[in-house]
Amino acid sequence: MAKDRKIDMVILGLLAHENLSGYDIKKRIDQSISFFWKGSFGSIYPSLSAMTREGLVEKVEDSERNGGREKINYAITSQGKEALRSWLEDSRAVNDMKYETLLKLFFGGVAEPQISINNINAFENEVRESLHILKFYQDNLSKVLNNPDHMYYYLTASFGVETYEAYLRWCTKARKMLEKENKK
């Protein structure tokens, strides 16, 4: 992977809006972008250390600490903002998928069709659930499109809705084909 650290951009992007701790960053990732990007503590904390050393972020006082245990808050620096911008302005982007469901389906021929049907059903259930949540986000965001930031969030949510609905259409077609095969 050598010399890239995409997690840096995730963190810088989030810090561009508000100061956050490593724990907060993880929460934001899980809540808002996890359907198209994930991040673990094992990459977040080392990235914060590295970026502090490199001057892209800096530690700030834990203001408004009303209870809860002490936390280390980070702020983006002007250098960090520059790094974020130049990444944004570079239209090259790597979109990397790992669909274990498709991997199993691709090799489905070594087992009975029913096995593949089960795998598709499990996938479909997960997708249905996530789609529900995504639609809820999309709906809420559609009401605050006057705020430019929210428009960007709305567009990513819409991407999710559009693709997840495509997944479900495919599930129906694929299952039909496999059930036909199963009856042979």
Would you tell me which residues interact with a copy of itself (CB under 8 A)? 6, 9-10, 13, 16, 32-33, 35-38, 81, 84-85, 87-89, 91-111, 115-116, 118-119, 121-123, 126, 148-149, 151-153, 155-156, 158-159, 162-163, 165-167, 169-170, 173-174, 177-178, 181
Provide the minimum distance between the beta carbon of 131 and DNA in the complex, in angstroms, as a whole number. 21
Q: How far is the CB of 125 from a copy of itself (least distance, A)?
A: 10
- List the single partner that 80 binds among a copy of itself, DNA, none, CB under 5 to 8 Å by kind: none
DSSP-derived 3-state class of residue 74: strand
60 binds, among DNA, a copy of itself, none (CB under 5 to 8 A by kind): none
Q: What is the DSSP letter of 60?
A: E
Q: How many CB atoms lie within 10 A of CB 40?
A: 10
Question: Minimum distance from CB of 63 to a copy of itself (Å)?
Answer: 23
Task: Tell me the Ramachandran region of residue 134: left when phi exceeds 0, alpha when psi lies from -120 to 50, beta otherwise.
Answer: alpha
Distance in Å, CB of 118 to DNA, minimum: 22
* CA atoms within 13 A of residue 33's CA, in its CB half-sphere: 17
**Which of 119, 131, 118 has the alpha carbon at shortest distance from 168?**
131
CA-to-CA dists, residue 30 to 40, 100, 110, angstroms: 9, 20, 36
Binding site for DNA (CB under 7 A): 1-8, 21-24, 38-43, 45-49, 67-73, 94, 96
